[in-house]
Amino acid sequence: MKSPPSLARLYAQAAVTSSLHRGDSLPDSVYELSDQSIDPGRLAAYQRVCGFRVSDELPPTYLHVLAFPLSVALMVERAFPFPLVGLVHVTNSITVVRPVRAGESVSFTVRAQDLRAHPAGRQLDLVAYARVGGEIVWSGRSTYLRRGKPVEPRSERAALAEQSGAVAFVRVPENIGRRYGAVSGDRNPIHLHALSARAFGFPQAIAHGMWLKARTLVALEGRLPEAYTVDVAFKTPVLLPSAVAIATERTSDGWGLDVRAARSGRPHLAGSVHAGTSA
């Protein structure tokens, strides 16, 4: 396709077709979006919402935003085994092969892979690639969980150690879901207002997980290598408004990431950055 599908239309479609998704296999569909130019205004707005410096270099998480409509289009297919509503984004991995600049034309490919069992249900991966001139410059893997009847009892959580490394305290305002939704196109109701979030079982609106990942990477801006991989696991949602403590610690091959609630210490995100690629 030449232009990205509308997320608003796809979310509306997901709402009315949720009962139609059944099955035990993933569709073989491959979604492609070719030769996309980068809108500098939208890029700058995204950088400001997430806390990045405004520049012509795309943050690694921005390419996820550009590929995301293809992922949603795949997930609302009748052949996709689960309804979109209720899927939980549990992990995300991004590999930067080289920096991408706003003047470049980028093409995207998205497919679903590896439907597998999980102690709390089943999970699968949505895999995306970004290419410039036929060369892979970026890849992303988002793992989603479809909760079901647990197959094993929940284990006791081990006590968390104190955060280590440099710690930055960040206020997360009540409107961050609406602001991020405006620049990303992801206006899922659970992120927009407390009232719409309650309809899906949340006491308040929650921050987008990919906003939190982006805001965490801001702490390392200017210190990342040309090529790297950043893996994160989303632990618990950030209720809005809130405040978080973002810890970054040097490791032997990169950085450790640890984001928790500033007051309670509840874990929100854990991850790592290491040099090199796997694309």
Is the Cα dihedral 53, 56, 57, 59 positive or negative? positive
Residue 153 is predicted with a pLDDT of: 60
pLDDT (tens digit, 9 = 90+) per residue, 98-121? Answer: 999 999 999 999 999 999 999 999
In the structure encoding, which two tokens stand for residue 142, read together?
Answer: 């988002």
Chain segment 11-37, per-residue pLDDT in tens: 888 888 777 777 789 999 999 999 999
Q: What is the pLDDT of residue 20?
A: 75
Is there a contact between 140 and 223 (Cβ–Cβ < 8 Å)? Answer: no
**Residue 130 pLDDT > 70, yes or no?**
yes
Q: Is the pLDDT of residue 185 over 50?
A: yes
Q: What is the CA radius of gyration of the chain?
A: 18
What are the CA-CA distances from residue 155 to residues 119, 123, 271 (Å)?
A: 11, 19, 21
Instruction: Give the pTM.
Output: 0.94
In the beta sheet, which residues pair with residue 85?
Answer: none
Q: What is the CATH number of domain 7-152+160-275?
A: 3.10.129.10
Is pLDDT above 80 for 226? Answer: yes
Give Cα 232 to chain centroid, integer Å.
Answer: 9
Q: Which position has the token pair 């289009």?
A: 73
